[in-house]
Amino acid sequence: MTTLTVFDLTKGGAAQAQTRDAEEILKALVPFDVRYERWEASKPLAPGAGQDTVLEAYARDVDRLKKIGGYQSADVVRMHPEHPDREAMRKKFLSEHTHADDEVRFFVEGAGAFYLRNDNQVLQVVCEAGDLLSVPMHTRHWFDMGPKPFFAAIRLFTTPEGWVAEFTGDKIADTIPKYAA
């Protein structure tokens, strides 16, 4: 189940609230202009299923998202606890960054945590299979797949250049608890 934890930066980054209530999650995301929806993610994926297989399984959803948002490209990020590059991949996404494009992820398997930051708060949104999250361009954020990652997410962008992370250099991600699952 999707979980939202709010960290208050005006109080040293202390956890202020936590909820699994969809309405409360939506309400908390409004100031960040983040789109959050629950979709169907019920197509079983074989352990070795690659990008093409995942995109084919969810082609209708990907096509619908492309039409809604004008997205031009899609790929799949899929991680499992035994992946040889899991530690390097986790570290790569743990630093706060922005993109010159929206970052859209549709989780089709497992879970991972998005962190969204404004001047007063950091929201940790633990997304799971069926969650669609769209982080607007230039939004400060980071992603934590956890020490034993297990997730598959379809990512969509309007341009290939939008995929490039622009790191802020801020160490805020080091002060907020990491995703432990």
CA-nearest of 67, 133, 146, 69 to 105 is 133
pLDDT tens-place string over residues 154-177: 999 888 666 788 999 999 999 999
Q: What's this model's pTM, rounded to 2 decimal places?
A: 0.93
Look at 81-90, 117-126, 155-164 and tell me which has the smallest mean pLDDT: 155-164
Cα 23 to Cα 15, 30, 88, 129: the distances in Å are 19, 11, 35, 18
Contacts of 161 (CB under 8 A, 6+ apart): 100, 101
pLDDT tens-place string over residues 48-84: 899 999 999 999 999 999 998 899 989 999 999 999 9
d(Cα 22, Cα 13) in Å, to the nearest integer? 23
Cα 79 to Cα 38, 47, 151, 159: the distances in Å are 21, 10, 5, 24
- Average pLDDT score over the chain: 93
Q: Are 8 and 16 in contact (CB under 8 A)?
A: yes
What is the distance in angstroms between the CA of the first residue and the CA of the last residue of the chain?
A: 13
Average pLDDT of the segment spanning 3-10: 94
Cα 131 to Cα 83, 110, 123, 144, 175: the distances in Å are 23, 10, 16, 16, 26
Average pLDDT of the segment spanning 110-123: 96
Could you give all domains of the chain from N- to C-terminal order, each with its CATH number? 3-173 (2.60.120.10)
Residues of the chain with pLDDT > 70, as a percent, come to: 98
